[in-house]
Chains A and B, each alone.
Chain A
Amino acid sequence: GESVGLHLPTLSVQEGDNSIINCAYSNSASDYFIWYKQESGKGPQFIIDIRSNMDKRQGQRVTVLLNKTVKHLSLQIAATQPGDSAVYFCAERETSYDKVIFGPGTSLSVIP
């Protein structure tokens, strides 16, 4: 099956600090990018998305940045809370194939 990477990076942050989770995507033809949050025992939950004609999008406490030049995506979480502890996945979609390809995920641990 298709996949991106085998290792799960981890990030530990102090409660109240800002978190930055990075993701490198693979396909320059991808036109839509999504960040998902997955808590233990649950399915992935949509956080925020961005289309390729944008370089920044803000939501509630979250900001996604897209750098198409280097094929890099980041998720910034402001004032990180214990409830933000989860695995975060970036995903890309290429229009022509209309399939969503997920990154390996980053485990975020918030220290109270």
Chain B
Amino acid sequence: KAGVTQTPRYLIKTRGQQVTLSCSPISGHRSVSWYQQTPGQGLQFLFEYFSETQRNKGNFPGRFSGRQFSNSRSEMNVSTLELGDSALYLCASKRSERSYEQYFGPGTRLTVT
């Protein structure tokens, strides 16, 4: 079965703009989590969605937001982009909120200039 897919794979934006990233989980998976990966800070948890509700949130400013649709697909949005937002944004899905194993997508590489 198909894995987690993320679109777009690469994105270049300028400071002050906003961006929306998309994630389609593995079929049958209802929980989607988002992570930011940078060389300096490593992999950091952004938020988790299950049944269209945010279940958990990391320590990121309000410029970072997300949502989940009834088909479990998820989007994350970053407004008023800063240079420091340049990162690989990873989406991971798991079958349910209490499942242990999560599967990652290939990520979206965001560059802010």
Query: Which residues of chain A have a CB within 8 Å of any CB of chain B?
Result: 1-6, 8, 32, 34, 36, 41-46, 49, 89, 91, 93, 97-105
Total B residues in contact with A, Cβ cutoff 8 Å: 29
B43 at the interface (CB under 8 A from A): yes
Is B104 within 8 A of A89, CB to CB?
A: no
> Number of A-B pairs whose CB atoms are under 8 Å?
70
Is A2 within 8 A of B4, CB to CB?
A: no
Query: Which residues of chain B have a CB within 8 Å of any CB of chain A?
Result: 4, 33, 35-36, 39-46, 48, 55-56, 58-60, 90, 92, 97, 100-107
Which of B4, B42, B101, B105 contacts A105, CB < 8 Å? B42
Which of B40, B59, B100, B104 contacts A44, CB < 8 Å? B104
Nearest residue, chain A, Cβ from B88: A43
